Amino acid sequence: MRVVIAEDHALLRDGLTRLLEAFDFDVVATVDDGPSLLPALLANKPDVAVVDVRLPPTFTDEGLQGAIAARTQVPGLPILVLSQHVEPLYARELLSDRRGGVGYLLKDRVSNVAQFVDAVHQVAGGGTVMDPEVVARLLDRSRPLDVLTVREREVLGEMAAGRSNAAIATRLFVTEKAVSKHINNIFSKLGLPPSDDDNRRVLAVLAYLNA
């Protein structure tokens, strides 16, 4: 699987490269600043890109902007965004094109290698992976997704974190069948049109972020 990495910190860039190569990814390009990100993504059309939010020269959110710009030109280009801090605001912007293949994780998560590699695979496969901290902050709010039951909100949170039905079932100690029933309820309560499964999941998460 072909990967592009954008990270300005040499230590972290080499670390990520080494880590992904150890799991049979093919790192086709690495970039260390904002301006070279978009050309690298467009030229290589990788199966997945791992991008740091903050890059030179402005050290603001060039990575995020680059990722969004690339996805406008190549719709659905799978990108996993890493950052030292997570903001629901950024998550919303990443998801706003309503396509899957997006991930948004704290850099810390890299240290749990198995989970991180799993997240990269999910994003490459068109899934959506949100950092547990984004999800936790959203769950913490009292604002309404009132139409949903407590259980349904839990399931939605797990979905936002990018988990499959089977994984959600294990975590919540219910059957997979029960999970898909909850998910169908969520889709119908949020008024999401029938379409392919991944896309509906993204829309549900987006509804969650906008609530």
Partner 1 sequence: METRDWVREGLRATAGGVLAIALSITNIPLFVLFVLALVLTPVLGLGLVLLPLVTALVRARADLSRRLAAGFGVPIARPYRPRPEQARLGGWRRYRWIITDPATWRDFGWLLPGAVIGLVLGVLSLALPLYGVEGIVLLPLWIWLATDSYGYGAIWPIESVGDAFLSLPQGALILGIGLAAAPYLRRVDALFAHLLLGPTRNAELRLRVTQLTVTRADTVDAQAAELRRIERDLHDGAQARLVSLGMTIGLAEEMVDRDPDKARELLAEAREASSTALVELRHLVRGIHPPVLAERGLDGAVRALALNLRIPTNVESDVTGRLETPVESAAYFAVAEALTNATVHSGATFAYVTLHRDGDVLRMEVGDDGQGGADPGRGTGLRGIQRRLAAFDGTMALSSPPGGPTIVTMELPCVLSSPRTMLSSGTD
Q: Give the separation between CA 126 and CA 105, rounded to whole angstroms.
A: 16
**How many Cβ atoms are within 10 Å of 194's Cβ, its own excluded?**
8
Q: Please identify, using beta-carbon distances, which residue of 21 and 146 lies nearer to partner 1.
A: 146
Structure tokens at 125: 């496969």
Contact between 98 and partner 1 per CB under 8 A: no
Shortest separation between residue 60's beta carbon and partner 1, angstroms = 4
| Residue number with CB closer to partner 1 (107 or 163) | 107
For partner 1, the binding residue among 61, 131, 152, 158 (CB under 8 A) is 61
Nearer to partner 1, 150 or 196 (CB): 150
Question: Counting contacts by CB under 8 A, is residue 33 touching partner 1?
Answer: no
Number of residues that bind partner 1 (CB under 8 A): 23
CB of 58 or CB of 72, closer to partner 1: 58
**Among 35, 99, 23, 24, which Cα is nearest to 63's?**
35
Q: Which residues bind partner 1 (CB under 8 A)?
A: 53-54, 59-61, 84-85, 87-90, 92, 106-108, 111-112, 137, 140-143, 209
